[in-house]
Structure 1
Amino acid sequence: MRNNAEVTTSAAAQHPAPAQPRPRLIATDLDGTLLRDDKSVSPRTVAALAAAEQAGIEVFFVTGRPARWMDVVSDHVHGHGLAICGNGAAVVDLHGGPGQHRFVKLRAMERETALDVIEVLRAAAPGTSFAVERTGGICHEFAYPPVHIDPVIAIAPAEKLLAEDFDLADQPVLKLLAHHGDLTPDAFLALAREAIGTRAEVTRSSPTALLEISAPGVSKASTLALCCAERGIGPEEVVAFGDMPNDVEMLTWAGRSYAMGNAHPDVIAAASSSTVANNDDGVAVIIEQLIEEARTAN
């Protein structure tokens, strides 16, 4: 008579797990994921991205960054040339290089929604300061920590920055940013999500108490799903990588997902697998494995 362990092993052998579909698209976050901490793309990662495209696997960069911060990866978008920016608020064609990026899809926040969110969050977390990210750049309040990476268009109270007669009112609002100097990042995120509810999508990717707020239903996952649907690609054919809470929905949606070795605990819980840290080329490690899997399967 066989013991239970033998019965279990025998049953597993008779019913092996189904093979995973061949990946058709890789979706990767940038900061803390594809990029090293010095914001560079390692030679190994460059080679892996090129090999994936050569193998017929599209690569999409899916980031919280605005389009104007995408120069670091402009040379690596290959054929399609597209990247998802602003946590899903924009799809950008990076062909042409720095200064020539073109918006091809916008999922902007309505002015009334932005004002409502600001009012609610001010009441829930006094001391919150705001910035407004538009297609042409960023504007912020006087108390908001300055952004040193690029020039600020205007500094004024958020209500003025969102006024109908503001000089940049014709530029769509891609997202709001909210900063708090006293709350911890995760505490601020939890508080804001409870206060804002379904008015908007609230997430974060910064190590500080800086929240990123998008229009209702707009996230990395939802915009990636739209781009994949346009290509006839299902979630089971997507491999995703991320490290911070703004990646959670994307990692949950994708058929295969990897949390970086340096990932936030919520990301580790959401992903189906893990890889090594960004500074150890964790994305490249998995891409190389995927290409080898495809080669041996042929």
Structure 2
Amino acid sequence: MTSVTDAPLPAVTRLIATDLDGTLLRDDKTLSDRTVAALAAAEEAGIEVFFVTGRPARWMGVVSDHVQGHGMAICANGAAVVDLRDDGRPLLVRPLEREAALAAIRALREVAPGTSFAVEFTTGIHYEPAYPPFHLDPGATVAVAEKLLQADSSGSGAPVLKLLAHHAELAPDEFLALARSTAGDLASFTRSSPTALLEVSGPGVSKASTLALCCAERGIDPAEVVAFGDMPNDVEMLGWAGASYAMGNAHPDAVAAASGVTVTNNEDGVAVVVERILAAG
């Protein structure tokens, strides 16, 4: 794997796509002054910046104060595209159909007893009694997932962005492999947490497939995209982009998918590459 200093850059860079947690953000969930300056300089040079994350739109406050011109975000692992300059207004939703969600839940309950679930709607998240509580969402309804997915539940018929499936005992990669082998025909399974927490989206929905849609709308070729990530939910995006960098702290699958490796998120690895792109300009 080539390092940040000798990995090839695109002949032309028109879009930078970056994950947030473990990638653009430091471990304390802040953006460094260096990173803010690098992204601003990229936009001044005519390069569009996309935040591409597993986070829902309501958890984008970590970057929304620093968007400047770059307000586009792909959230929930590709299930939603929002404009942070417009209060996170959804521009595109790629939902997980409720019947597919219920089928995935049934499959995981059977092969991994003890799995607990949360349901992320466009209107917010709700979860089962056994699921680790979300302190950022104190208004969540607590009920079994099957009830949450009823049209008259707290979701009130709102589209489902993704399921979250948690297991207290399985190893994270083991849980992901089990889910994909059992129910991969029903939904897309990935993970971004260091724990055994899976994220379940509609079939074919990923950071990469939604980024590809956004780039096609703009007439941007994959060869003109530079992507950054650190976890399995970034793998498809890192493989799709013309040039891509796994962070120095990345999961081995992300490293294998990327065309280069930069330094860690705490060392401003994204800014290091962006500065190199601009210098090569």
Given that 1:59 and 1:77 are in contact with CA atoms closer than 8 Å, whether structure 2 keeps it comes out as no
Tell me which of 222, 233, 258 is aligned to 2:220.
Answer: 233
Matched with 2:83 is: 93
Asked which structure has the greater CA Rg, the reply is 1
Q: Is the 8 A contact 2:9 2:243 kept in 1?
A: no
User: Deviation string for 1:207-251 (max 9, x for gaps)?
Assistant: 000000000010000000000000000100000000000000000
Which of 57, 68, 79 aligns to 1:78? It is: 68
Equivalent residue in structure 1 for 2:241, among 242, 245, 254: 254
Task: Tell me, in whole angstroms, the C-alpha distance in 2 between the residues paired with 1:60 and 1:84.
Answer: 7
Does the alignment pair 1:156 with 2:138? no
Mean alpha-carbon deviation: is it higher for 49-58 or for 68-77? 68-77
> Is the CA contact (8 Å cut-off) linking 1:235 and 1:255 kept in structure 2?
yes
Deviates more, 1:43-52 or 1:71-80: 71-80
Partner residue of 2:271? Answer: 284
Compute the RMSD of aligned alpha carbons. Answer: 1.3
* TM-score using structure 1 length: 0.90
Q: Are 2:43 and 2:70, in contact at CA under 8 Å, matched by a contact in 1?
A: no
Say if 2:165 is the partner of 1:178: yes
Q: Corresponding residue for 1:12?
A: none
Unaligned runs of 5+ in 2: 1-7
Unmatched runs of 5 consecutive residues or more in structure 1:
1-17
Matched residue SS, 1:198: coil
Give the match for residue 30 of structure 2. Answer: 40
Match of 1:13 in 2: none
On the 8 A contact 2:118/2:163 being kept in 1, the answer is: yes
Map 1:117-156 → 2, pairs under 5 A: 117-156=104-143
Q: Equivalents in 2 of 1:182, 1:268: separation in Å?
A: 26
Contact kept in structure 2, 1:162 and 1:169, CA below 8 Å: no
- Say whether residues 1:190 and 2:177 are aligned partners: yes
Partner of 1:108: 95
Shift of 1:95: 0.9
**SS in structure 1 of the partner of residue 175 of structure 2:** helix
Q: How far is the alpha carbon of 1:80 from its aligned partner?
A: 5.5
Q: Percent identity?
A: 70
Q: Is 1:215 paired with 2:202?
A: yes
The alignment partner of 1:155 has SS state of: coil
Structure 2 length as normaliser, TM-score?
A: 0.95
- C-alpha distance in 1 between matches for 2:139 and 2:194: 22
**Residues of 2 paired with 1:162 and 1:38: CA distance?**
34
CA contact (8 A) 1:25 1:239 kept: yes
Give the Å deviation of 1:43. Answer: 0.2
Query: Deviations for 1:137-180, whole angstroms, at most 9, x for unmatched residues?
Result: 11000000111222242000110000122242321100000000
State the alpha-carbon separation in 2 of the partners of residues 48 and 55 from structure 1.
11
Cα deviation for residue 287 of structure 1 reads 0.1
Between 254-263 and 69-78, the greater mean CA deviation after superposition: 69-78
Q: 3-state SS of the aligned residue for 2:184?
A: helix
Counterpart residue identity of residue 265, structure 2: N
Q: 1:1-80 to 2 correspondence within 5 Å?
A: 20-79=10-69
Contact 2:40–2:69 under 8 Å retained in 1? no
User: Counterpart amino acid of 2:91?
Assistant: V
Given that 1:201 and 1:214 are in contact with CA atoms closer than 8 Å, whether structure 2 keeps it comes out as yes
Helix, strand or coil for the counterpart of 1:52? Answer: helix
Name the aligned partner's letter for residue 80 of structure 2.
A
